[in-house]
Chain A
Amino acid sequence: MERPAWAPPGIDISVPSVSRMYDYYLGGSHNFEVDREAARKVLEFMPGLPKAMQANRAFMRRVVNFAVGRGVTQFLDIGSGIPTFGNVHEVARNADPDACVVYVDHDPVAVAHGQAVLGDDPKATVLAADLRRPQQILESPEVAEVLDLNQPVALLLLAVLHFVDDEEDPYKAVRQLRDALPSGSLIAVTHMSYDTVPVPREQAEGVVGVYRGTRSPLISRSREQIANFFEGYEMVEPGLVSMPQWRPDSPTEQEDPYAFAGFAGVGRKA
């Protein structure tokens, strides 16, 4: 069904964007001064944050390879952000050239950038949509074109759920996504949690304060609360752990302490 093209909420690059801040943490230049300014403030409170981002990227790589190893070659990456080196479709195709990916983000600039990067790739596309309205994602022509929802899908919710407030009911949104996927599907989540950040709590709250100035305030959740996102799915070994501890390729003792911030896990629909 074609919807009326009501204007999007607006492109205002005078407001920091979490996806461009993320790019900055990773050393990219896909960002503007407002983003860098906000990111630098965050780094004042948590100087090692880029290491957490890096661990998140590394987790993504391992999860994608794990999925392909289990025969799951369709990926729905919600909150994908600015495409940068080592994207999901690159990692996935390295393992299986036929892998298909739909990237979803609600930041119009990130989406436009994604479109520029992907061009007219028939097996990878980017969709402007919001995690908080999962039906719009599931019923989108992009998903219909690239993914077969009758076959298992790996749903990636990496470093995105901690930007959705409880008032907006992320549990309901994730449940709708989980319910829409067939048996054999995977859900991968990484989520920030105060308790695991190697800085005093007041300092962590300083970060939250910075993010309040973006359109995506940062929400910390406990391990139990994060575990609820997997409800109805079986946890893949080793369960919900810190990012480097999830099926590491190499010993984890060399990792930066920041890499252990937050939780990561993968669930599988029986």
Chain B
Amino acid sequence: MAPSEVSGSAADPDGLEDRLRRFATIWSRAVFPVTATSLTRVEIEQHLLPLARQLSESLHAHTFDARAVQKIGGALIDAHCTDPEALSRTLGVIDAYLVLYCGDPGVEGRGADQAAEDSRARCARLQHALAAGYAYGLRERTRAEQEAIAHSSLAARNAAVSALHATETRLRAVFEGAAIGIAIADLEGNILEVNETLTRMFGGLEQHVRGKKVTEWSHPEDRPHVWQLYRELVRGEREHFRVEKPFFRNDGTVLWTNLTVSLLRDADGRPQYQLALLEDTTERRLLHLRLRYEATHDALTGLPNRTLFFERLEKALSGGEGSRFGLCYLDLDGFKAVNDSLGHATGDRLLVEVADRLQSCATAPGEMVARLGGDEFVALTTGPDTEHEVDELAARILSALASPIRVDGREFTVRGSIGIVEGPAGERTTAEVLRSADITMYRAKSAGGNRYETADPEADARAITRHGLTTALPAALERGEFFIEYQPLVDMCDGKVHGAEALVRWCHPQHGVLGPDQFIPLAEHTGLIIPLGRWVLQEAVRQARYWQEHHADLGPVRINVNLSPTQLQHPGLVKETVAVLEGSGLAPGSLCLEVTESALIGADEGLLRPLRQLAELGVDIALDDFGTGYSNLANLRRLPVSILKLDRSFTKGMQHLPVDPVDLKIVEGIVSLAHSLELAVTVEGVETGAQADQLRELGCDTAQGWYYARPGPPEKLHALSLADAV
């Protein structure tokens, strides 16, 4: 422990200063263990040193100053020696060491005894004063600190109370200003408190809401479990629930809400109140209903639309055991013509009237009518007896349409074709049912319309194949699935092959080889006939040129190629044909284009012009299937044709002897007529020798048929001609 440098008497070990320091050291050692100060003992000692000096001075003062000594006691409190043990130890140190270290050593003898006695007495008084000063200081400090802490806790409480007040004000503002209705009720259901919003939601009169019971808030459209949830909540078995719930407003109208009810418990966790939060969803609900209505109904007729119909059909098809469905798929006959000729406004009015009539046909439960779009409608019936109900429904629909409809001062007779699909639920998808109904409706339409047909699986299958082929056609052309067979044309005078008809075939990957009857109409329908026809022409012309070049022995072989009605109308016909001929080097006179009689019925000059141009170039034009349409003989003269191909139906009666005399007369007449018009005659379907002989006799120029050869690959033609030559 370093002696204090400030003390000037460090050099004198027995000097007063040094004795005071030693006294302070003893004192600090005594009190330090019972202090709570953060100071070190040395620091305490330095703190006590001036006090020791004051003690010494008081010991020697001429007059004893009790106040000065009391201050020393107070200074101990200031040094945080607040433990009473510190006082006890201080008094002990003073008693034992003060006189010893600070007494007057200069007096001796009897005077010395007197002096020592005086010092003892002074020391005792000094201790009394110090103890009093300590007690006084401690009392003051304790009072001050108690007051301070009480003050602080009061301040903290006030702060908490004003925060609570602010919170309460805010909560009150939230309660009153909330956009949702809030109500508080006790567990018996007595409504204790409602906010402004809730009052407004109920129609504006507070007394109609407050004071009521929650149980009066029931509504016939309440979900059955709502009041079950409520009872669980007030019994304390549930903390909250949320439901969609309607209420009656004061004026009797309905208020729809999202309702959340929560249980409020007291501090001990016992159920105390219920809190209801109500969000007004009335408008949203109405809007939703309106949107839903608009989304599921046809704007023109007001009938359910496609969406709603499919929902219902879906539901009907997923019905349980024993439930059946019946569907009428109606398409108006010839409606497009009405729209085209009289305009859409009239067409629309007609549809509205049709919709009304249809609606009146399906009024029983489980029945519905919907408009799918355009002039397509559906009527659906469900239940166990749809098997005969659906036929009645279809009959009702046709009869409802039977009487003329008056629109814009005109009367229209509307007819429709109906496809019926009926069956048990759970077997087919909506898409399958609709496709079947569509196919069946087309069957009714192609059977003349104004009728209904019932779906049957075989007809469906055919139509489905037709559908499949149509979609497969474009890819088939790209993949080279088509090929050509050639059927020889035989000169009836010398029996020699002088040409062949090109017949296109489709080698279908699943269905095998298909004849033109099976796919040409489809190609016509989709427009694929144009590229397909072009390919056939190119291929056949190339083949004819090949024969001419490599089999000169055959003579000038001719090639017949069929033209479909669509090709006939194609603007590039002449140009493309010329290009193909020029590309191959085949003479135009070696090509014969076959056109069906029906394609030329009523043909105007515009349609005939390309044919005329081709004929002028030297291409032969043959009138195919002659005699099957309403042959306009007068018209024959102005057609640019040079050959008549007599339909096989005329030659059929000549296959076997005796020959039908009427057929004989007809053929004879036609040949004579043709020849007088300078037209050559080709006969098809020659199957027997007798037939061939007969036709030769009648003057036919060329023949084709199985008697001579079936259609086959190009090599066979060569072989045939060789055989023929032999």
* A contact set with B: CB distance below 8 Å: 4-8, 10-11, 13, 20, 25-32, 50, 53-54, 57-58, 60-61, 82, 85-86, 108-113, 115-116, 249-250, 254, 256
Q: Which residue of B lies closest to A60 (CB)?
A: B38
Within 8 Å CB of B33, what residues of A?
256
Q: With the chains together, A256 CA to B32 CA distance in Å?
A: 11
Contact of B163 among A8, A26, A29, A111 (CB under 8 A): A8
Partner pick for B160 among A11, A60, A86, CB 8 A cutoff? A11
- Report B-chain residues with C-beta under 8 Å of the C-beta of A110: 152
B80 within 8 Å of A (CB atoms) = yes
- Expressed in whole angstroms, the Cα–Cα distance for A29 and B36 within the complex equals 13
CB atoms of B149 and A249 under 8 A apart:
no
* Complex Cα spacing A29 to B83, Å: 11
Contact of B141 (CB < 8 Å), options: A25, A26, A29:
A29
Q: Which residues in B have their C-beta under 8 angstroms from that of A25?
A: 36
Give B382 Cβ to nearest chain A Cβ, in Å: 60
Kindly list 17 other residue pairs between chains A and B, CB separation below 8 angstroms, not including A13-B153, A109-B149. A4-B166, A6-B167, A11-B156, A25-B36, A26-B80, A27-B80, A27-B82, A32-B149, A54-B35, A54-B37, A57-B38, A108-B159, A108-B160, A111-B156, A112-B152, A113-B148, A113-B149
Please tell me if the beta carbons of A86 and B155 are within 8 angstroms of each other in the complex: no
Chain B residues lying within 8 Å of A8, measured Cβ to Cβ, are 159-160, 163
Q: Which single member of B148, B157, B164, B167 contacts A30 (CB below 8 Å)?
A: B148
CB <8 Å contact, B40 and A249 = yes
On whether the beta carbons of B163 and A85 are closer than 8 Å, the reply is no
User: Does A6 contact B163, Cβ atoms closer than 8 Å?
Assistant: yes
Closest CB-CB distance, B151 to chain A, in whole Å? 7
Least CB distance, A235 to chain B, in whole angstroms = 23
22 contacts between A and B (CB under 8 A): A4-B166, A6-B163, A6-B167, A11-B156, A11-B160, A20-B149, A25-B36, A26-B80, A27-B36, A27-B83, A29-B146, A32-B153, A54-B35, A54-B36, A54-B38, A58-B38, A58-B40, A82-B149, A108-B160, A112-B152, A115-B155, A116-B155
Bound CA span A108–B167, Å:
17
Residues of A within 8 A of B616 (CB): none
Please indicate the chain B residues that have their CB under 8 angstroms from the CB of A31 in the complex.
149
Question: Count the A-B residue pairs with Cβ separation under 8 angstroms: how many?
Answer: 97
User: Chain A residue with minimal CB distance to B147?
Assistant: A29
Interface mask (B164-181 → A, CB under 8 Å = 1, otherwise 0)? 101100100000000000
Q: Distance in Å from the Cβ of B490 to the closest Cβ of chain A?
A: 104
Minimum distance in angstroms from B250 CB to a CB of chain A: 36
Instruction: Give B173 Cβ to nearest chain A Cβ, in Å.
Output: 11
A33–B494 CA distance with the chains assembled, in angstroms: 143
Q: How far is the CA of A57 from the CA of B39 in the complex (A)?
A: 9
Chain A residues lying within 8 Å of B166, measured Cβ to Cβ, are: 4-5, 7
Q: Does B145 contact A (CB under 8 A)?
A: yes
Complex contacts, A11 vs chain B, CB 8 Å:
153, 156-157, 160
Q: Determine if A85 and B152 form an interchain contact, defined as CB atoms under 8 angstroms apart.
A: no
State how many angstroms separate the Cβ of A91 from the closest Cβ of chain B.
Answer: 9
Residue B142, interface by CB 8 Å:
yes
Residues of B within 8 A of A27 (CB): 35-36, 80, 82-83
Q: Which residues of B lie under 8 Å from residue A30 when comparing CB positions?
A: 145-146, 148-149, 152
CB neighbours (8 Å) of A20 from chain B are 149
Q: Point out the residues of chain A lying under 8 angstroms from B160, CB to CB.
A: 7-8, 10-11, 108
Query: Which residues on the A side are within 8 Å of B40 (C-beta)?
Result: 58, 249-250
Q: Which residues of B contact A7 (CB under 8 A)?
A: 160, 163-164, 166-167
Q: Which residues of B contact A109 (CB under 8 A)?
A: 149, 152-153, 156
Confirm or deny: B41 has a beta carbon within 8 angstroms of a beta carbon on chain A. Answer: yes
Separation of A249 and B40 alpha carbons in the complex (Å): 8
Which residue among A7, A26, A54, A86 has the maximum number of chain B CB atoms within 10 Å of its CB? A7
The interface residues of chain A lying within 8 Å CB-to-CB of B690 are: none
Q: Is B42 in contact with chain A by the CB < 8 A criterion?
A: yes
Per the 8 Å Cβ criterion, residues 1-54 of B in contact with A are 33, 35-42
> Considering the chains assembled together, what is the distance between the CA atoms of A184 and B232 in angstroms?
61
Contact B37 A86 (CB under 8 A): yes
Across the interface, do B36 and A26 meet the contact criterion of CB distance under 8 Å? yes
Residue of A nearest to B138 (CB): A29
Cα distance A58–B41 in the bound complex, in angstroms: 11
Chain A hits for B145, CB < 8 A: 28-30
List residues of B (120-142) whose CB comes within 8 Å of A's CBs.
141-142
Bound CA–CA A72/B42 (angstroms): 27
Specify which chain B residues have a CB less than 8 angstroms from the CB of A256 in the assembled complex: 33
- By a CB distance below 8 angstroms, the chain B residues around A86 are 37-39
Contact in complex: A254, B82 (CB < 8 Å) = no
Does the CB pair A85–B37 fall under 8 Å? Answer: yes
Contacting residue for B156 out of A28, A57, A108, CB 8 A: A108
Q: Is the CB of B148 within 8 A of A116?
A: yes
The distance from the CB of A30 to the nearest CB of chain B, in whole angstroms, is 4
The CA of A31 and the CA of B149, in the complex, are separated in Å by: 7
Closest to B77 in A: A27
When C-beta atoms are compared, the residue in chain B nearest to A9 turns out to be B160
On chain B, the residues within 8 Å of A82 by CB distance are 149
Q: Tell me the bound Cα distance from A6 to B152 in angstroms.
A: 20
- How distant is the Cα of A82 from the Cα of B145 in the complex, in angstroms? 11
**Chain B residues whose CB sits within 8 angstroms of the CB of A57 once the complex forms:** 37-38
CB-nearest residue of chain A to B1: A250
Q: Report A-chain residues with C-beta under 8 Å of the C-beta of B156.
A: 11, 108-109, 111-112
Please, how many angstroms separate the alpha-carbon atoms of A20 and B148 in the complex? 12
Write the nearest CB–CB distance from B684 to chain A, whole angstroms.
98
Across the interface, which residues of A come within 8 angstroms of B142, CB to CB?
A: 29
Cα–Cα, bound, A240→B284 (Å): 66
Given the complex of chains A and B, what is the CA–CA distance between A32 and B141 in angstroms? 15
Question: In angstroms, how far is the closest chain B Cβ from the Cβ of A10?
Answer: 6
Q: Which residues of A contact B42 (CB under 8 A)?
A: 250
Closest CB of chain A to B4's CB: distance in Å?
15
In angstroms, Cα B37 to Cα A115, docked, is 23
Q: Which residue on B lies nearest to A7, using beta carbons?
A: B164
- The reply to whether B80 and A29 contact each other, CB–CB distance below 8 Å, is no
Identify the interface centre among B83, B145, B164: most chain A CB within 10 Å of its CB.
B145
The listed residue with most A CB atoms (<10 A of its CB), out of B38, B151, B155, is: B38
Least distance between A82 CB and chain B CB atoms (Å): 7
Please name the residue on chain A nearest to B81 by beta carbon. Answer: A27
| List of 10 A-B pairs having minimum Cβ-Cβ separation, nearest first | A57-B38, A113-B152, A29-B145, A108-B156, A7-B164, A27-B82, A112-B155, A112-B156, A112-B152, A27-B36
Minimum CB–CB distance from A214 to chain B (whole Å) comes to 16
Chain B residues lying within 8 Å of A60, measured Cβ to Cβ, are 38
Q: How many Å from the CB of B537 to the closest CB on chain A?
A: 85
Chain B residues closer than 8 Å to A113, beta-carbon distance: 148-149, 152
Residues 79-97 of B, flagged 1 when their CB comes within 8 A of A and 0 if not, give 0101100000000000000
Do B41 and A250 touch across chains, with their CB atoms under 8 A apart?
yes
A residues within 8 A CB of B167?
4-7
Task: Tell me how far the C-beta of B164 lies from the nearest C-beta in chain A, rounded to whole angstroms.
Answer: 4
Please tell me if the beta carbons of A85 and B148 are within 8 angstroms of each other in the complex.
no
A250 contacts across to B, CB distance below 8 A: 40-42
Give CA–CA (A27, B142) in the complex, Å. Answer: 10
A138 to chain B, nearest CB (A): 22
CA distance A20 to B153 in the complex (A): 11
Q: How far is the CB of A15 from chain B (nearest CB, A)?
A: 12
CA distance A29 to B159 in the complex (A): 23
For A6, list chain B residues within 8 Å (CB).
163, 167
Q: Which residue of A lies closest to B154 (CB)?
A: A112
Contacts of A111 in B (CB 8 A): 156
Bound together, the chains give a CA A90 to CA B162 distance in angstroms of 32
Minimum distance in angstroms from B163 CB to a CB of chain A = 5
Most buried by B among A57, A109, A112, A256: A112
Q: Which residues of A contact B157 (CB under 8 A)?
A: 11
Q: Report how far A57 CA is from B38 CA in the complex, Å.
A: 5
Closest to A91 in B: B38
A6 and B165 alpha carbons, distance in the complex (Å): 9
Give CA–CA (A50, B148) in the complex, Å: 22
With a CB–CB cut-off of 8 A, which chain A residues contact B35?
A: 27, 54
Q: Return chain A residues, CB-CB under 8 Å to B37.
A: 54, 57, 85-86
